Copies of this chain bind each other. A is one copy, B any other.
Amino acid sequence: MQELRERIVTDGEVVGRDILKVDSFLNHQIDPAFIQRIGKELAARFAGEGVTKILTVEASGIAVAAAAGLALGVPVVFAKKKRAVTQQGELYAAEIFSFTRRESVHITVAAKFLGPGDVVLIVDDFLAHGEALNGLVDIVRQSGARLAGAGIVIEKKFQRGGEKLRAAGLRIESLAVIESMEAGVIKFG
């Protein structure tokens, strides 16, 4: 997605060797019209797959997932990182390790929102080491739903999470693929 690559170059900031900050339009401040176009593009890549539900994880994935869900006309479920006292009943759960936060996070989805009759598209803002995506794939597997694939806004290919998951048969569509960020220079794949 050309507009996304341009925006990453203009507004993104490389921190250290492997962190890309895009907090001005994607994960702290959101540009709603741009997020809408991103969601539409992700939806277009999976049109015709019979998707019945989108799955993401709070918090940064929610806006993009909602935009994709609007475009596909399907509900969006976001995995929760903390269990609220209002959360009851059967849950699917997974552990994901966050390299940016340097800690493991327990994510849950109420079982009533995903089942064997569903065809699921996973949506997330970033794909790096693949920890979050692995956790979401695990939750889809627990639910018995069919997994149509994963739609990612920015994939940092050099962190190889996508490689492992594609080798395992997962279809992943990333709107911007970053090959390297050596010396602060972003190279797209």
Binding site for B on A (CB under 8 A): 15, 19, 21, 23-24, 28-33, 35-36, 58-59, 62-63, 65-67, 69-70, 73-78, 80-82, 84-88, 100-102, 109-110, 113
Contact = CB atoms under 8 A, between A and B. Distances in A.
B63 A66 contact: yes
B86 A30 contact: no
B66 A30 contact: yes
Given A32-B76, A84-B100, 10 more contacts: A19-B86, A28-B87, A30-B66, A30-B75, A30-B76, A32-B67, A58-B59, A59-B81, A63-B63, A63-B66
A109 B100 CA distance: 18
Contacts of A73: 33
Contacts of A77: 28-30
A28 B66 contact: no
Contact of A69 (B30, B80, B100): B30
Given A28-B110, A110-B28, A113-B28, A85 B101 contact: yes
Given A85-B101, A86-B23, A100-B86, A28 B59 contact: no
